[in-house]
Amino acid sequence: MAESEAAASAPDAALADLLDLLDLEQIEENIFRGTSRTSLVPRVFGGQVAAQALVAAGRTVPGDRLPHSLHSYFLRTGDSGAPIVYSVDRIRDGRSFTTRRVVAVQHGQPIFHLSASFQTYEEGLEHQSPMPPAPDPESLPTAAEALPRYRDTFRDPGTVERLLEARGAVDLRYATTPPWGSVGQPTEPRSQVWFKTRGKLVDDPLLHICLATYVSDMTLLDAVLLAHGRGGWAVGDVVGASLDHAMWFHRPFRADEWLLYDQESPSAHGGRGLGQARIYTQDGRLAITVIQEGVVRVPRA
């Protein structure tokens, strides 16, 4: 990944910082080291670990092969104050497909496990689910415009500034009401957001895939919260954490152009909630499918 070129072309400092976060240090063959950034909660953001693990895997794969799927588990809470070591296992290098397994380690213990499969491009059968209706992203309020409206809803008023800082590299706009906007009012378990990076990126398909992986963990369980009129961790009415995360990359896309994240939750049970989603380009191409299960617990009195 041509990280220095990407950072230089990005006018936004937050995006440059995120690109630097994904530019892992290679410390040995198949072993990489990454740092963390300040998170909204006192642990490493799951999307960061998933994206960094995919970067590590991608750096051991020929450049003409891109990820078509990943499957991962969050095993332990990550320490944002310590480096993360990513160890890549070269499982298989076939004629069309390459498989990699990555283990992220902190303080001598695995905190995350990822398996990813890469494929050379080939022609094939073609069909997709149609893109659902959604408002034009440019017609929606930015996070800086929308979040202050909910300041009194959050448990800590400073949450607004922390959210804006944590998502500073990404222009993320809600097309539907966010969970903290419908506290106490259960609604259909569906949520839509548009997102893109704040700045242009180089033409590196792996970089765009890793950035979409990073963003995919930000809002996927919103639909679970909406179904029960819960506002989430920022409101203090649930405790949550990602358990596993899977993605399938169907078609080329750019993370610096608008992508519609159409999310829903088919089930919540046993202290867990399931989110599933499709990510479309603005012209209607189905780019990614995402499924995640997470812990969603109501705090005890």
Residues forming the active site: 217, 242, 292
Residues whose CB falls within 8 Å of the CB of residue 13, separated by 6 or more in sequence, listed in order: none
**Which DSSP state fits 253?**
-
Range list of β-strands (E), 80-230: 84-93, 97-106, 109-120, 170-174, 190-197
State how far the Cα of 133 lies from the Cα of 73, in Å rounded to an integer.
32
Count H helices and E strands in the chain, helices first: 7, 12
| Secondary structure (3-state) at 150 | helix
State how far the Cα of 9 lies from the Cα of 106, in Å rounded to an integer.
32
Residues whose CB falls within 8 Å of the CB of residue 278, separated by 6 or more in sequence, listed in order: 129, 262, 286, 288, 289, 290
Residues whose CB falls within 8 Å of the CB of residue 299, separated by 6 or more in sequence, listed in order: 236, 237, 238, 239
Task: Decide if 203 contacts 253 (C-beta within 8 A).
Answer: no
State how far the Cα of 37 lies from the Cα of 18, in Å rounded to an integer.
9
State how far the Cα of 111 lies from the Cα of 105, in Å rounded to an integer.
6
